[in-house]
């Protein structure tokens, strides 16, 4: 089930009504409603995958209880590794088995050694990377005694499978989300309205921005060999906005939906395209994953402590693993490597903490220096997204080579784009401009329209909401799956 579907539009009011108007007096029953709704939501794709999420939940729940009772350091490590191996084993099998096998065969073939093995027709469970990391963080925090284990299996099942953020995040820490299932939730009209507002803004990003951009990026990346360099640059920029609208839109809908049920999820995007350097970008992009790697991989490796060579090694590891997390394709690894190359000079010159505040804080316009910094960061990010979007490394390198080919910047718009295609392109650019203006003026908030620019008159705010809904319904692009469902 996806957020931008009729199924979800029917599903959400039913679950909301049961949760608040039928079982609102009993916390246990409310959590049961969450579990049933979450399993229904996830099983909508393929009910067979419900066994995976249940097994993962059961193992980590049991390991957590065992860790509380066990004092021996050796046995505690065994319990921790049991959780790590099972969870990463399931993730590795479904997501990377064929990738490793194919590369293993290619390596032998390169040295002239014939090696045959059959790949498996494996369907990747939706969101497995997200809930695997969520349950792993629980076990690790219990092991480190940063969190007391859960003794309520229903609450734990609800934590792991919580449907708003189950499929594509945010990747919630147990220290933040799990305790919320222990406390009685009371309906708040203010939080409810705020949740709906964020859902609407997320739908705008996804349906209007991402889905309309997708129509052009798909055509440009598919037919790049026959297009001029300027068009390929436009394609890369449009994908930059497509992936932002798609993923941050999902996060906004997830956070807003959770708020409807009385839960607070962590902010996952903090206006990353207004970043002044790549270090700031990675503090603002997919925050839940970036901080997960920081806390559970980068810091245990030594972080920024020690000799320079160790710092560089740790940065490369964190970005390469982050790239590989996104998918079984060398394009993601190269994307991660490229971002590591962006980040390392900033770290070595001790400038990685220079921009920790909001750009142009309290001002309407940025300075010329800030504008140039944001433009450079955006350009570097856009270049890296080409590898992320490409089908393979050859595709990415050919795409980039054609951009920089001589005498190749001929037309901003392909000559084949006439009539409706041209008008849709202009409309998409205007929609992106609206997005950036709204987010610029809302950049000090959790999301773009959180405070509606300080407008105090309720009727004016509701008019704006209705106009936004009309805009979403009228100018929706062709329905596209969320990009991060494949991860």
Active-site amino acid positions: 326
Closest CA to 224 of 216, 233, 215, 232: 232
Rounded Cα distance, 408 and 404, in Å = 7
With beta carbons less than 8 A apart as the criterion, state whether 320 and 336 touch. yes
With beta carbons less than 8 A apart as the criterion, state whether 340 and 321 touch. no
Contacts 24+ apart (CB under 8 A), 35-40: 35/154, 35/157, 35/158, 35/161, 37/11, 37/163, 38/158, 38/161, 38/162, 38/163, 38/166, 39/161, 40/1, 40/11
Rounded Cα distance, 403 and 233, in Å = 7
Distances from the Cα of 269 to the Cα of 114, 258, 275, 298, 448, angstroms: 48, 16, 12, 21, 11
Distances from the Cα of 11 to the Cα of 2, 127, 476, angstroms: 11, 19, 21
Radius of gyration of the chain (CA): 23
Q: How far is CA 415 from the centre of its chain?
A: 35
Name the token pair of 374.
Answer: 């944001």
């Amino acid at each position: 089930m996806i957020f931008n579907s009729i199924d979800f539009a029917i599903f959400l009011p039913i679950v909301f009504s049961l949760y608040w108007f039928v079982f609102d007096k009993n916390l246990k029953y409310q959590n049961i409603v969450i579990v049933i709704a979450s399993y229904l939501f996830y099983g909508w794709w393929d009910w067979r995958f419900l066994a995976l999420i249940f097994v993962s939940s059961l193992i980590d729940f049991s390991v957590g209880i065992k860790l509380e009772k066990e004092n021996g350091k050796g046995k505690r490590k065994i319990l921790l590794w049991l959780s790590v191996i099972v969870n990463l084993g399931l993730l590795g099998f479904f997501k990377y088995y064929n990738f490793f096998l194919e590369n293993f065969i290619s390596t032998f073939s390169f040295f002239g050694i014939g090696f045959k093995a059959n790949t498996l027709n494996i369907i990747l469970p939706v969101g497995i990377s997200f809930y695997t990391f969520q349950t792993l963080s629980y076990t690790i925090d219990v092991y480190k005694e940063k969190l007391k284990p859960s003794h309520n299996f229903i609450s734990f099942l609800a934590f792991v499978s919580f449907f708003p953020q189950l499929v594509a995040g945010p990747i919630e820490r147990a220290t933040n989300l799990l305790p919320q299932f222990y406390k009685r939730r009371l309906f708040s009209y203010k939080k409810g309205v705020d949740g709906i507002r964020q859902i609407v803004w997320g739908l705008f990003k996804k349906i209007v921005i991402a889905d309309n951009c997708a129509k052009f990026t798909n055509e440009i990346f598919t037919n790049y060999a026959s297009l001029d360099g300027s068009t390929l640059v436009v394609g890369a920029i449009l994908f930059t906005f497509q992936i932002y609208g798609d993923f941050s839109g999902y996060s906004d809908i997830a956070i807003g939906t959770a708020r409807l049920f009385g839960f607070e999820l962590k902010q996952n995007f903090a206006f990353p395209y207004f970043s002044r350097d790549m270090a700031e970008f990675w503090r603002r992009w997919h925050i839940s994953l970036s901080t997960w790697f920081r806390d559970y991989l980068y810091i245990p490796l030594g972080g920024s402590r020690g000799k320079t060579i160790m710092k560089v090694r740790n940065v490369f590891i964190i970005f390469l693993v982050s790239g590989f997390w996104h998918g079984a394709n060398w394009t993601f690894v190269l994307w991660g490597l490229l971002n590591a190359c962006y980040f390392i000079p900033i770290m070595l010159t001790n400038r990685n903490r220079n921009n920790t505040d909001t750009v142009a804080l309290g001002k309407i316009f940025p300075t010329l220096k800030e504008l140039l910094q944001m433009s450079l960061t955006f350009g570097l990010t856009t270049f890296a997204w080409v590898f992320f979007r490409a089908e393979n490394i050859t595709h990415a390198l050919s795409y980039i080579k054609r951009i920089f080919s001589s005498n190749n910047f001929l037309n901003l718009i392909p000559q084949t784009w006439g009539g409706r295609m041209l008008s849709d392109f202009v409309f998409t650019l205007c929609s992106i401009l609206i997005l950036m203006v709204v987010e610029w003026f809302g950049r000090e908030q959790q999301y773009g329209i959180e405070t509606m620019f300080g407008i105090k008159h309720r009727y004016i705010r509701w008019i704006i909401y209705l106009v936004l809904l009309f805009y979403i319904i009228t100018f929706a692009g062709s329905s596209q799956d969320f990009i991060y469902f494949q991860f």
